Structure 1
Amino acid sequence: MNKLTKLSIKKFRNVAPTTLEFRPGLNVLLGKNAAGKTTLLRLLSTAVGSQDEVLRDDVLEVSYRVSGTSLDFEHTITRTRVDEPVLPTEPGRPMQAGLSNLQQTDAFVFEKNGSIVEKARVLSNEVTLERAGQQSRVDLRLMRRRDPFTSLYFGLLSTEQAATANDLVKDIISSRLRSAGRMDESLERLNALLDLEVKREDSSKSSTWNIEDVPRSMYFILSDSMPEGTSATFSLEFLERAARVLGYESATARFDVERLSPEPSQQIVRLSNLRFFFKRPGEEVSHDLLSYGQKRLLSFFAHADASQDMIVADELVNGLHHEWISACLNEIGDRQAFLTSQNPLLLDFLRFDSAEEVRRTFILCERTSGESGSQLIWRNPTEEEADSFFSAYQTGIQRVSDILLTKGLW
């Protein structure tokens, strides 16, 4: 499973340049309100490829490092603002002030057993590849604009090298961190999921979805035969697990079905108006009758199902019973997670085997003010702070949240 090990920030908003290190499991951001915790989660999501609209127009220079199953790599993202002159509307008139456009450059370095096996530079209109000292360039101007990793993939497939290094191409693509981005602190992610529509064309076995980051278990509905009638009901793995945590015996997802083609041989159907139903003896309730905390848990289970390698969740424990927090952490399993919480309940579930693990687990977020204005300071604990925390943790007397407060880390 691919893991994010490091994030370096050279330029981003009012954040002081920093390098953050992470553990393979749970990582927790600590800090007061307005210290940038949510902003850091947004940046992490954007860096690994799940674009956050709030940061879409931000100038930045950041890099992150991934330890992958087959390859390790470093990805540097540079966004600069470029002013382009506006041509005059009438001949003889001077050019007007320029339009400001954002230009992004993505540089990749892939390594296997410590040795570089591929370098790549991705621009909006081209990909430059370098392997064993040999360079090649692929023109992307005729291709639809894609995210940098997908552009890199098509660039690799378009080179003559790809035919003789197919295994390496597969390793490069499989090393990508797969994440559904940031789950918000409320119910936006669940509401977006409820707006899901999918159009299925049985003749071509193709489908289109109106949202990104669909839970993986929902893709299996495309292989099921479509029942007759105006609705279709499906069992989903993440939904069944959430139902058991909430005290129900089972749960199903139900779509309205609209048939768009009159020809049986070319059936096109649209699924919409998604609803979830939870059942136990003598009772069936739809998701809209669940409490806020129950909806939050359902939202997290759906979000986790869409996040294959890395889970990002803001204020995870909002509205959750303490037993449900344990269920959410079990749902994360072996995946890497980046979480925030102002509630000590989450912190008290954390476990540590060394001071170094403590240092990589926590990201301390602080806002400072000076003559030049406010600045965000993001950092891991120092080795001294981590040693002090771990010594107190080993005694088993205080809870994790109490140690953090005592040591001035939270």
Structure 2
Amino acid sequence: MLKLRRLRIEKFRGVAPGTELRFSDGLNVLLGQNGTGKTTLLELISMVVRSDFSSLVREEFSIEYELTVPGEATVLVAISNKEDTSLPETKPRTAFGLPEHWHPAADITIEESSSGRRHHVRYDSDLGLIIGDGHPTGRARELSCLQAGFLWLYMLEVAEPVAISVHHKVRRARTARRFDESLELFTWLVGSGDARGILLVHRDETLIAEAEAHVIGVPQALSRRLAERYERPRSDYTFQHADFAFLTTIKETMRFDAAELRVDITERQPWGEDHEMVTFGNFVFRFWWEGGEFITHTRLSYGQKRLLTFFYYLACNDDIVIADELVNGLHHHWITACVEAIGARQAFLTSQNPLLLDYVPITSPEQVHHSFVLCRGERRGGRPAWTWTNMSHEDAAEFFAAYEVGVEHVSEILQSRGLW
């Protein structure tokens, strides 16, 4: 499973230069008052794990980070974007639309776990992609290191077995967006308009491939089951809760007797001579009680809508979870279900509600040091600024000693020591 182990910030918005954070492989909780940059940090983490800095194409930044696939390789990335104000604004020169006076750069090292061998990739906005110590390849000049998916696409250029293997792990995290604190993702999930998923189907109606969906993706089980049932004349398909583990979990957690998901085929387009591109969406979730009465997702409560979206989100993201104010609208039994469902995934969470904190596993002072990130706000040069740090080793040891006594809740220990 892919893990984000380290993030160093030299320049990014109002963050203190030289900020370096280390993360645990399990639950990581960002603590701080409103306005201390917790959501901004979650968004930055999402950019890192999704290999997508396209939202920063006209913004100066410089960061380093370390991704690892345990037992296979570690990927070290240094990436930046700088503005040369001595040059006038010109027309975009690349397919990516990067202006002449912005200069993104990236330096990537893939280190094999077993042998220690290193493979090096560098991107320069003028030269393009450079593999190892060689000359510019002339390839991928149009694929900026800020563009979505740059990291796993660059790995294909390395053409080494470890790079190809890690490529698949990194690519799998492309849908690890921030699970928002309200209903933004729910509205996207059940809304009309953008495609929820795309299938490439051969003329004999067999699935060739699935394209990535917008925003948070589509569970593989849904794409595969839809491909199995696909018939060219049909425009809608209905699946029962027994078809998908995530739908069964939603049904059982909300205590309904049955659930189903209807999916519409919204568009078909020819793709070459023998294929067609099939777009699907217009999701409708239905839930039944004993006796036959049912409701659709539109009649769910606020908390039920968030729960539905979160379990769908988990089904799309096998490795990394990024959730803002996860416990909003959730009963503590549902919080337990959510934390248990995260399982072995690495998670980055925020919460102003103390309930979540009591579900964070506490095993050692070192684990506490890595699991809690303290976010604080201040002013520098008359402007708002943020300081993000791991909990100090001293505070982590003191926290762990108090936790072992078993008298105070996690939230109480943090508050009494000024850590939250």
Q: Deviations over 1:128-183 (max 9, x none)?
A: 121xxx53532235766653214313422xxxxx3xx4x23323414527252211
Relative to structure 2, which stretch is displaced further, 171-180 or 18-27? 171-180
Please name the residue that 2:342 is paired with: 332
- Provide closer, same or farther for how the CA distance between residues 259 and 398 of structure 1 changes in structure 2, counting only shifts above 3 A: closer
Aligned to 1:96: none
- Equivalences, count: 387
Match of 2:111 in 1: 111
Correspondence list, 1:3-402, <5 A: 3-17=3-17, 18-49=19-50, 51=52, 55=56, 57-69=58-70, 70-83=72-85, 84-85=87-88, 101-113=101-113, 115-123=116-124, 126-130=128-132, 134-135=133-134, 137-140=136-139, 146=147, 147-156=149-158, 162=159, 165=160, 167-174=161-168, 176=170, 178=173, 179-195=175-191, 197=195, 198=197, 200-203=199-202, 205-206=208-209, 211-216=214-219, 217-226=221-230, 229-234=234-239, 235-257=243-265, 260=268, 269-282=278-291, 283-402=293-412
SS in 2 for 1:202: strand
User: Aligned in 2, Cα 1:65/1:206: closer, same or farther, shift over 3 Å?
Assistant: closer
Q: Is 1:138–1:155's contact at 8 Å kept on the other side of the alignment? A: no
Shift of 1:356: 0.9
Unaligned runs of 5+ in 2: 92-98
Distance 1:182 1:52 in 2: 14
User: Deviations for 1:357-404, whole angstroms, at most 9, x for unmatched residues?
Assistant: 111110000111255433211001111111111110000000000000
**TM-aligned CA distance change 1:191 to 1:388, over 3 Å:** same
Flag the 1:281–1:170 CA change in 2: closer, same or farther, 3 A. Answer: same
1:42·1:52 contact (CA, 8 Å) conserved in 2? Answer: no
Aligned pair in 2 of structure 1 residues 392, 280: CA closer, same or farther (>3 Å)?
A: same
Query: Offset at 1:327?
Result: 0.7
* Counterpart in the other structure of 2:94: none
More strand as a share of residues:
1
State whether residues 61 and 80 of structure 2, in contact with CA within 8 Å, keep that contact through their aligned partners in structure 1: yes
CA distance in 1, matches of 2:383, 2:56: 21
Measured after TM superposition, the shift of residue 103 of structure 1 is 2.9
The residue aligned with 2:95 is none
The secondary structure found in structure 1 opposite 2:228 is coil
Kindly indicate whether the alpha-carbon contact (under 8 Å) linking 2:49 and 2:176 is maintained by their aligned counterparts in 1.
no
Normalising by structure 2, we get a TM-score of 0.83
Gaps of 5+ in 1: 89-98, 157-161
Q: Is the 2:52–2:150 contact (alpha carbons within 8 Å) kept by the matching residues of 1? A: no
Report which stretch shifted further, 336-345 or 100-109: 100-109
Provide the rounded CA distance (Å) in 2 between the counterparts of 1:397 and 1:356.
21
| C-alpha spacing 1:301/1:405, structure 2 compared with 1 (3 Å) | same
1:187–1:295 contact (8 Å) kept in structure 2: yes
Q: RMSD over aligned Cα, in angstroms?
A: 2.8
Could you say if the C-alpha distance between residues 330 and 215 of structure 1 is closer, same or farther in structure 2, counting changes exceeding 3 Å? farther
Task: Tell me, in whole angstroms, the C-alpha distance in 2 between the residues paired with 1:86 and 1:186.
Answer: 39
Task: Name whichever of 13-22 and 191-200 sits farther off.
Answer: 191-200
Q: TM-score, normalised by structure 1?
A: 0.85
Amino acid at match of 2:16: A
